[in-house]
Each structure stands twice: as structure tokens, then as C-alpha cells.
Amino acid sequence: MSSEGHNPFHHAQALVDHASHALGLEDGLRELLRWPMREYEARIPFRMDDGAVQVFQAYRVQYNNARGPTKGGLRWHVNETIDTVRALACWMTWKTAVVDLPLGGGKGGITCNPRALSPLEAQRLSRAYIQAFAHELAWDRDVPAPDVHTTPQHMAWMLDEYEMIRAHSEPGVITGKPLALGGSRGRADATSWGGMYAIREADKALGLNLGSNSRYVIQGFGNVGGGLATILHRAGGKVVAIGAEDAAIRNERGIDVPAALDYYQHHAQRLDGFPGGELISNDDLLTQPCDVLIPAAIEHVITRQNADKISARLICELANGPTTPGADHTLHHRGIPVIPDILANAGGVTVSYFEQVQNAYNYYWAMDDVHTALDRRMTESFQAVFALSQERQISLREAAYLLAVSRVAEACRLRGWVNGRR
């Protein structure tokens, strides 16, 4: 929760309310879209390696399935709550809709400190989660995937547990799996590549003239942020500041991204002590002068308190909900365009959908095919959002929500959920 005191789910609901009002949706439909359709919680008693028993709180939220099976990752985080999971499931609903996937939105979480778990404890907790929720999951009902602090290995354990419970093979029930278990090529860095395509299209549409000397600041150095840093570095972009949970570093000449990643991976995911840059705080990181600011970590880091200090020409939200409503208003007033999260970071769920398709007919695509299909989907989606923003003279975020909410609303109407008896 940010210093503005925003509950992330209230933030998500406010965005839905704004879009619903602009679209003129009837009260019943608006109320349907404001809340999850189904929520599941479990208290998981768990024996640690030392014999002590802890009880973990676990969640799975299926927000809306009007357009197809719900889809969304599984987060392990010490501050996970039902409201963060609700918010993320809500955002997933609009994310799948804005890139026009035949899916709904869902999300899961476990309140835990993943870094305090041994590998054996992580495996047992992965299996325990599936034991708690297996009967609510299926390839045509609700499909989890990796998210914060979960990996393809966690998905492998979960798939194995699910298939043991169900006593049959069902690889499409979980995406983000290792390749050997039916994962898709290109899934690991799909969110990063999706962000790159979105930045490229924004550059064209807004006439930013980004080039080899353009400066990028990235908050978050995990799979998504580190992946995009690598892509930008290889393309000749200058990443001048990066941040992790412990600290951030700055180098006006450009950070040696491969060296920073190697240090990060060999020092318990820490940047403190990396010799290739000056140590700064994560608060200072967000206000560094740059062409493109990329929040790629957690929600609510750009707030009313720092939005007037942001000096980027463009913001690309690879995290979910990184900008609070108050900050969004300030940025729009200052003329700083924001590629909203439901569009910018949709590359991950898009390639997860491709993985589901490949699992369904047991035929797997080459990497070039995945990248080509992802590029086309992200390009078409950005252009549709940008065209609507120009037509209505609204921000990219408002346009993305109008497009996404209208698509879900249409599916609800066609099913008779709001204009007839369910």
C-alpha cells in the first residue's frame, strides 16, 4: 500500500467505475464488473524442515470468465492479502481483454516469505497449494502461471501434483512451465519483449525519436526488469539506473547490464556492492532524468508525493498497478504519457495463451513464431488503444480501460448475465 493510503483493490475498482461511467454501462453490469465472481481461501498447515508447524494463508480469485477461462499468476509475498489478489485478478481481466485473448482474469497468492523457504519447503508448499485448490483449476476453467517469487520449477511441481490428483495428463492447466513439461519457447522473457514492443510503438506514435543514446531507468531487476534491461542493452540503449529490493545503482555512462545481472544472481539478488555504479535509494531511482522510466517491480511506487518529480518523457508500466490514481492525474496534467500496465505488461499472459494453444494440440512453435505472434498482438493492441485515445482525447490508460471493459461488458450481455435470467 502506498503512502497515499490506497487499497490496491479500491484503486482497481475506481478505474472500472471511471470506464463504466464513460461507456454508460447500466448499474447491474457495472456492479458485476466491480467484484470477483468467485473467491477461494485456504489455511494451509505446513511442517517446516525443522519440524515446526506454520499455517500459511492462500488465495485464488476468479474475477470474470465471460470471455473464457480465468488466467493469472501465483504470487508468493510476505505482504500478500485478499485485496492485492483481488486487484491483480481484476487487472488480469482487463489485460486479457485489451490484447483480445479469449480468456478471463484470475490470480492467486500465498502469504509467505519465499526467501526463507528451503528448496524442499518450496516444493512442498507448491504441492500443498494445488491440494487446496485443485478442484477449482482446469485448462478450461482457471489456469495459474508464475508471478512474483514463483518460477517454472514451482509450476512443474504444481503440474505434477495436479496430474497425480486428477490421474491424467493435463499440461494446459498451468503455464510458464519448463520446456520439458510442455512450456513454450519465449515465455520466460515474454513480458520484457512485450514491453519492448510497446515502447517501440509508443515511440512511433508519439514521435519521441528514441535512439541509441536514449536513457532508460528500470525499477525491478528480476525476470521482467532484468529481461528488458538485457534487451535494451543489446539494442544499444543506455540503461542509466536500475533498482532491486535492497538498493539501486546509477551510472550516467550506462550500466554494464550483463555484469550487473551476474552480480545480482551471485549475491542473493542484491545490487549493494556492485562496482559498476553509484549507490542510490529506490526513491531517488524513480526521479532520475531519463527518456523512459520502467517500473517493473511492485504496485504503488509512483505516488502523488513523487509524481511531480518524475523527469521521464515516457513511462512504461511493466509492474501491475505501479502508479496511484493521484500520481496518474499529475502525470497526465504534466503531459508525461504512460503506457498502462494492462497493455504494457500483457506479453506474459499473451505467450501463456500461446502455451495453452500449443498444449491443446500437442505441437510446439519455434522461437521466431512466438516472437512474431507476440509482436503482432502487442502492435495491434497498442495501435487500437492509441487510436481510441486520439479519437476521445484521453490518456492511454483511459483508452485501454474503455476498450477492455467494453469487450468484457459485451461478452456479459451476450451471455444474458445482465439483460436476462442467468
Q: Tell me the pLDDT tens digit for each residue of 169-206.
A: 999 999 999 999 999 999 999 999 999 999 999 999 99
Write down the pLDDT at residue 212.
81
Lowest mean pLDDT among 5-14, 134-143, 190-199, 279-288: 5-14
Instruction: Please give the pLDDT value at position 5.
Output: 54
Burial of 4 (0-12, 13-18, 19+ CB in 10 A): middle
- Residues of the chain above pLDDT 70, percent: 98
The DSSP result for 262-299, as a single string, is: HHHHHTTT--TT-TTSEEE-HHHHHTS--SEEEE-S-S
Q: Say if strands 292-295 and 314-316 run parallel, antiparallel, or are unpaired.
A: parallel
**pLDDT (average), residues 216-238:** 94
Domains 33-174 and 190-339 share a fold: yes
**If one looks up domain 190-339 in CATH, what number appears?**
3.40.50.720
pLDDT of residue 298: 80
Nearest of 361, 310, 357, 351 to residue 331 by alpha carbon? 310
Question: Taking Cα atoms as reference points, which of 52, 2, 49, 35 lies closest to residue 303?
Answer: 2
Mean per-residue pLDDT of the chain? 94
Asked: is 33-174 a CATH 3.40.50.10860 domain? The reply is yes
Q: Where are the domains of the chain?
A: 33-174, 190-339
pLDDT digits (tens, 9 = 90+) for 263-293: 999 998 889 999 999 999 988 999 999 999 9
Express each pLDDT in 398-413 by its tens digit: 999 999 999 999 999 9
Conformational region of residue 400, where left means phi above 0, alpha means psi within -120 to 50, and beta covers everything else: alpha
* Residue 354 parent element (H or E): helix 347-361
- Return the H-helix or E-strand segment holding 48: none
pLDDT for res 370: 98
Q: How far apart are the first and last CA of the chain?
A: 37
For residue 400, CA distances in Å to 252, 302, 340 come to 34, 19, 8
**422: Cβ–Cβ under 8 A, 6 or more apart, which residues?**
415, 416
pTM, 2 dp: 0.93
Query: For position 156, what pLDDT does the model report?
Result: 98
All 3 cell numbers of residue 233?
542493452
Nearest Cα to Cα of residue 307 among 323, 320, 292, 294: 323
β-strand pairing of 248-250 with 292-295: unpaired
Asked whether 75 and 148 are in contact (CB, 8 A), the reply is yes
Give the distance from CA 1 to its chain's centroid. 17
Residues annotated as catalytic (active site), given as ranges: 107
Is the four-CA dihedral 340, 345, 349, 351 of positive or negative sign?
Answer: positive
State the amino acid at position 29 in one-letter form: L
CA angle 228–231–236, rounded 5-degree value: 125
pLDDT digits (tens, 9 = 90+) for 344-382: 999 999 999 999 999 999 999 999 999 999 999 999 999
Query: CA 244, CA 247: separation in Å to the nearest integer?
Result: 6
Beta partners for 243?
219, 248
Three-state SS for 112?
A: coil
User: For residue 58, what are the β-bridge partners?
Assistant: 42, 110
